[in-house]
Amino acid sequence: MTGAPSIEAEVRALIAEVTRRDASAIGSDEDLVERLGVDSLQGLQILAGVEKRFTVTLPDEDLIRLRTIGRIARVVERLHKGGKS
């Protein structure tokens, strides 16, 4: 899990920026839609931020699947290692 906490922290900051809500108390595996009411548009803005910040391209299927901070961080880690999400 090396590096995952920092990725998570940055994803959390990004979510807070897009939703304008405090994301610090959200658990890694809590559903962002249920917990923060993230709508589909905000979801795309968050994922665009993830791609920009971590210089990755998320697979298309993940555009509707990535709904937790932990999962986003794990996919970014995997992509950095050259693996599949």
Partner 1 sequence: MRIGLIAMSGVRVRNAELAALGVTLPQFVSRGKIVASLPSLGLLTVAALTPDDCDVVYREIAEVRGDDPLEPFDLVGISSFTAQIDEAYLLADRYRAAGVPVVLGGLHVSMMPDEAAAHADSIVLYGAEGAWPKLIGDFRAGRLQRRYEGLRSRVFEPPNYVVPRFDLLAGRPYNRVTVQTSRGCPLDCEFCAASLRITSSYQQKPVDKVIEEIRAALAFRSSPFFELADDNTFVNRKWGKAFLRAVKPLGIRWFTETDISIADDEELLDLLADSGCRQVLIGFESPDAEGLDGIDPRNWKKEQSGRYLEAIDRIQSRGVTVNGCFIVGLDNHTPAVFEMVRDFVRTSGLLEVQVTVQTPFPNTPLYHRLRREGRLLEERYWDRCTLFDVTYRPKKMSVEELEGGLRYLFAELYNEREFLRRKRQYMEIVKATHWATTQAWAATVRSHAT
By CB under 8 A, which span of 4-12, 25-33, 67-75, 77-85 interacts with partner 1? 4-12
Nearest to 39 by CA among 70, 18, 22, 10: 18
Residue 38 DSSP code: -
Q: Rounded to an integer, what distance in angstroms lies between the CA atom of residue 77 and that of residue 54?
A: 9
By CB under 8 A, which span of 26-34, 49-57, 65-73, 76-84 interacts with partner 1? 49-57
Residue 72 interacting with partner 1 (CB under 8 A): no
Q: Is 11 helix (H, G, I), strand (E, B) or coil?
A: helix
Q: Which residues of this protein are in contact with partner 1, per CB under 8 A?
A: 9-10, 12-14, 16-17, 20, 23, 37, 39, 41, 44-45, 47-49, 51-53, 60, 63
